[in-house]
A and B are shown apart, each in its own frame.
Chain A
């Protein structure tokens, strides 16, 4: 019994010291001057632009990922084709690869000296240092998130149900919509929220490819980074607290959704 309590105490101490303290520090600093200080921090030129850009690109990335992630999961589970295993592994690569390296990868291909970037530049299209570059980076690093949530659900789903639907005359889309979607919906929503939360804080891949143009391609995390590097920790903390609050709510909701699915 005592040993159980000791374990629990150790767990509480670990989480308290490592997780709670830092978060408390940021929140405390962010609210040190009260709501007025928060409003002041957000009045810095480019603050709202950065937050807005982060929100919009994160939502877009989450939606695109929801669609493509589900499609990828479906393709990987239901279809057989050469290279399926490889594709499945490649999809997981962003889990293992440093975000900074991801940024470099994108720059080397889509930058003005890159194979695709150079080709596009000749036609007057620029990829790097644009809002699109931010979205691109986010899509890459969040690629596995929805797929990995949906795949287990699809694996459990008996393909016989879809076949039954098609025998009854439903076309592919209807059977997908009526049979598959309801089953994977919690997983898709969970993965989408996870993607969104992840995108809110993404730094390594975005900082190299976006150009960090204030008001145009400067995202909130890079903005916080810049503030932290100047004499402005209070403002950095204010923006950081805002982002964190949003992301935390998302993470909690996702956790609740995934847990409910596992219990079911």
Chain B
């Protein structure tokens, strides 16, 4: 047998692998970026919507989606719509979408996660210009305490006391964690929790004190509260709706409301690149619109225990929602960009405090 043929069985496969490796396309822009046409695609008979949400509102969307599907059916000649839902941490979802998960609609825990998707070129419209600034639900930060609040927690500085064991999710992996810590930071800067108004050093000391007492950094807000329920720690920093959901499930969680809290605002947005690729823009946009209708807002409140997207209404509360003394948004602190840089970047206050 000729030598080249004898060698070929080794060389050919090795060459194949090397060629494949060399053909790697690391400099390409995401092939999913950019709409595929100007609305000239043909929609499928049964549109499929890929819906990616953070983990907390799973039950809520479990109720909302069937409502939308049946309404769409009524209005559109009995056309069925299929939703493929995925629930994971907010930042994880955003990262997956950027990495290639072709979600058509995203419902995340905080704005910056949606902004990341936009920076990757997948969202090309200004999602904050939609109804309610692009937000569909809100909540506030509370302390989940043992029944009767035996430790007497009332505000953030109580959490810095010696021996207090705090549960809160890890800001690196959980959007919810950032809300918690931003709330502490903002409350301090606004003159609560024993810190003078505008006193940055005091606010930093408060954050460091709180973080120093954290015994478990969980993957998500839900993990935090569940670990708390299984007996770990004295207090879990979490959202109001998490506590109310737990109470609804018959558990013993009790909420303590610090006087000053950030308004947790949860965005929903259509992912342009994917809806155009899948030709489901009409349905996707209708769905997002649907989420801003009063009936659905009622569902957010009833099932998800989420507050109104209107600041004044959210502050006033009503029903099972106590009024909040001082309710503010991240914009009052200058917006997420500045906060992320100051608190959560590698050399940010929070990251350094956790590492130290």
Chain A residues in the interface with B (C-beta under 8 A):
1-2, 5-6, 8-9, 12-13, 16-17, 20-21, 24-25, 28, 32, 43-46, 49, 111-113, 121, 126, 128-129, 211-215, 218, 226, 228-231, 233
Contacts of B173 in A (CB 8 A): 226, 229-230
Known: A24-B21, A45-B351. A9 touches B10 (CB 8 A): yes
Given pairs A12-B13, A28-B24, A229-B92, 12 additional interface contacts (CB within 8 A): A2-B1, A5-B9, A17-B16, A17-B20, A32-B26, A211-B215, A212-B217, A213-B215, A215-B354, A228-B95, A229-B95, A230-B172
For window 258-313 of B, CB contacts with A under 8 Å fall at none
Q: Which residue of A lies closest to B171 (CB)?
A: A214
Asked whether, in the complex, the Cβ of B231 is within 8 Å of the Cβ of A121, the reply is: yes
Known: A5-B9, A45-B346. A230 touches B14 (CB 8 A): no
| Interface pairs (6), CB distance under 8 Å | A5-B9, A6-B9, A9-B12, A44-B346, A45-B355, A121-B231
Known: A129-B216, A214-B172, A214-B355. A16 touches B231 (CB 8 A): no
Interface centre among A9, A113, A121, A229 (most CB of B within 10 A): A229
For window 194-244 of B, CB contacts with A under 8 Å fall at 214-219, 227, 230-232
For window 49-95 of B, CB contacts with A under 8 Å fall at 89, 91-92, 94-95
Contacts of B219 in A (CB 8 A): 212, 226
Chain B residues in the interface with A (C-beta under 8 A):
1, 6, 8-10, 12-14, 16-17, 20-21, 24, 26, 89, 91-92, 94-96, 98-99, 116, 170, 172-173, 214-219, 227, 230-232, 346, 351-352, 354-355
Asked whether, in the complex, the Cβ of B95 is within 8 Å of the Cβ of A129, the reply is: no
Contacts of A24 in B (CB 8 A): 21
Within the complex, the shortest CB–CB distance from A173 to chain B, in Å, comes to 44
Within the complex, the shortest CB–CB distance from B11 to chain A, in Å, comes to 9
Q: Which residue of A lies closest to B12 (CB)?
A: A9
Interface centre among A21, A214, A218 (most CB of B within 10 A): A214
A38 to B209 CA separation, bound complex (whole angstroms): 32
Q: Which residue of B lies closest to A233 (CB)?
A: B99
A145 to B95 CA separation, bound complex (whole angstroms): 37
Asked whether, in the complex, the Cβ of A211 is within 8 Å of the Cβ of B9, the reply is: no
Contacts of B26 in A (CB 8 A): 32
Contacts of A1 in B (CB 8 A): 1
Q: Which residue of B lies closest to A6 (CB)?
A: B9
Known: A12-B10, A46-B354, A214-B172. A230 touches B16 (CB 8 A): no
Contacts of A46 in B (CB 8 A): 354-355
Contacts of A226 in B (CB 8 A): 170, 172-173, 219
A142 to B227 CA separation, bound complex (whole angstroms): 27
A49 to B217 CA separation, bound complex (whole angstroms): 15
Contacts of A229 in B (CB 8 A): 89, 91-92, 95-96, 173
Contacts of A13 in B (CB 8 A): 13, 16-17
Asked whether, in the complex, the Cβ of B12 is within 8 Å of the Cβ of A213, the reply is: no
Asked whether, in the complex, the Cβ of B231 is within 8 Å of the Cβ of A112, the reply is: yes
Asked whether, in the complex, the Cβ of B232 is within 8 Å of the Cβ of A112, the reply is: yes
A193 to B98 CA separation, bound complex (whole angstroms): 38
Asked whether, in the complex, the Cβ of A20 is within 8 Å of the Cβ of B17, the reply is: yes
A8 to B352 CA separation, bound complex (whole angstroms): 54
Asked whether, in the complex, the Cβ of B14 is within 8 Å of the Cβ of A12, the reply is: yes
Within the complex, the shortest CB–CB distance from B228 to chain A, in Å, comes to 11
Contacts of B21 in A (CB 8 A): 21, 24
Interface centre among A25, A111, A212 (most CB of B within 10 A): A212
Q: Which residue of B lies closest to A231 (CB)?
A: B95
Asked whether, in the complex, the Cβ of A45 is within 8 Å of the Cβ of B216, the reply is: no
Asked whether, in the complex, the Cβ of A213 is within 8 Å of the Cβ of B216, the reply is: yes
Instruction: Select which of B92, B94, B218 is within 8 A of A212 by beta carbon.
Output: B218
A134 to B214 CA separation, bound complex (whole angstroms): 19
Asked whether, in the complex, the Cβ of B95 is within 8 Å of the Cβ of A112, the reply is: no
A28 to B20 CA separation, bound complex (whole angstroms): 14
Q: Which residue of B lies closest to A113 (CB)?
A: B230
Asked whether, in the complex, the Cβ of B354 is within 8 Å of the Cβ of A230, the reply is: no
A21 to B12 CA separation, bound complex (whole angstroms): 15
A43 to B351 CA separation, bound complex (whole angstroms): 12
Asked whether, in the complex, the Cβ of A16 is within 8 Å of the Cβ of B98, the reply is: no
Within the complex, the shortest CB–CB distance from A184 to chain B, in Å, comes to 39
Within the complex, the shortest CB–CB distance from B2 to chain A, in Å, comes to 12
Known: A46-B354, A212-B170. A230 touches B95 (CB 8 A): yes
A2 to B8 CA separation, bound complex (whole angstroms): 11
Q: Which 6 A-B pairs have the closest CB atoms?
A: A45-B355, A112-B231, A9-B9, A5-B9, A13-B13, A16-B17
Contacts of B89 in A (CB 8 A): 229
Contacts of B13 in A (CB 8 A): 9, 12-13, 16
Q: Which residue of B lies closest to A10 (CB)?
A: B13
Contacts of B215 in A (CB 8 A): 129, 211, 213
Contacts of B99 in A (CB 8 A): 233
Q: Which residue of B lies closest to A218 (CB)?
A: B217
Q: Which residue of A lies closest to B96 (CB)?
A: A229
A20 to B223 CA separation, bound complex (whole angstroms): 37
Known: A44-B346, A226-B172. A211 touches B10 (CB 8 A): no
Asked whether, in the complex, the Cβ of B9 is within 8 Å of the Cβ of A129, the reply is: no
Within the complex, the shortest CB–CB distance from B153 to chain A, in Å, comes to 21
A9 to B172 CA separation, bound complex (whole angstroms): 46
A181 to B90 CA separation, bound complex (whole angstroms): 54
Asked whether, in the complex, the Cβ of B95 is within 8 Å of the Cβ of A5, the reply is: no
Asked whether, in the complex, the Cβ of B217 is within 8 Å of the Cβ of A45, the reply is: no
Instruction: Select which of A5, A228, A231 is within 8 A of B6 by beta carbon.
Output: A5
Contacts of B352 in A (CB 8 A): 45
A111 to B232 CA separation, bound complex (whole angstroms): 10
